Homo-oligomer: A and B are copies of this chain.
Amino acid sequence: MFQLDLRSRLPIYMQIVEKLKELIINNVLKPDEQLPSVRALAQQIAINPNTIQKAYRELESQGYAYSIVGRGSFVYDIQHGETNEKLEKIKVSLEKMMSEALYIGLTNEELLQMVENVSAKREDYHD
C-alpha cells in the first residue's frame, strides 16, 4: 500500500502526502475517517515518526486532514472548506499539462476518453 522510493527526488514526507491524498480523493479514506496513527504508520513503513508527522502537517495545511492531540488524525471533509483558490491554481496546471500531452502526441480523442474515465470513476463513489 505504501511503496516509497527512498531514492526519489521527491522527499519521503511528500510521497506520503501524495499517497494519502490519492486515497482521500479516490474516496478510499472517507471524510472524518481516522488516518493511521503517526507511530503506527511510522513503524509500518519503517520511517521516522517525525517524517510522518511532517507529512500529516502538510496534509493539514493543504486542507485534506486535521489532527486532534490525544485523539488522532482524520480526513477533512472538504465540503466545509473554501477551495476556490486551490481550484484556480489547479486549473492553470491542468491546462499546461494538457497542452504538453497533446504536443507529445496524445490525440484529442484520447484526452476526451481520459476525461470520461475519470468522471465515471468519480460517479461510482457517490453510490
Contacts and interface: CB of A to CB of B under 8 A. Distances in A.
A87 B111 CA distance: 12
A101 to B, nearest CB: 5
Contacts of A111: 115, 119
B115 A87 contact: no
Q: Chain A's interface: helix, strand, loop or mixed, by majority?
A: helix
A45 interface: no
Interface in A47-87: 61, 66-69, 71, 74, 78-79, 82-83, 85-87
19 contacts: A6-B71, A7-B66, A7-B68, A7-B74, A9-B67, A11-B69, A21-B100, A25-B99, A26-B99, A61-B61, A83-B105, A86-B104, A87-B104, A90-B100, A94-B101, A94-B114, A97-B97, A102-B119, A112-B112
Interface of A: 6-9, 11, 21-22, 24-26, 32, 61, 66-69, 71, 74, 78-79, 82-83, 85-87, 90-91, 93-106, 108, 111-112, 114-115, 117-119, 121-122
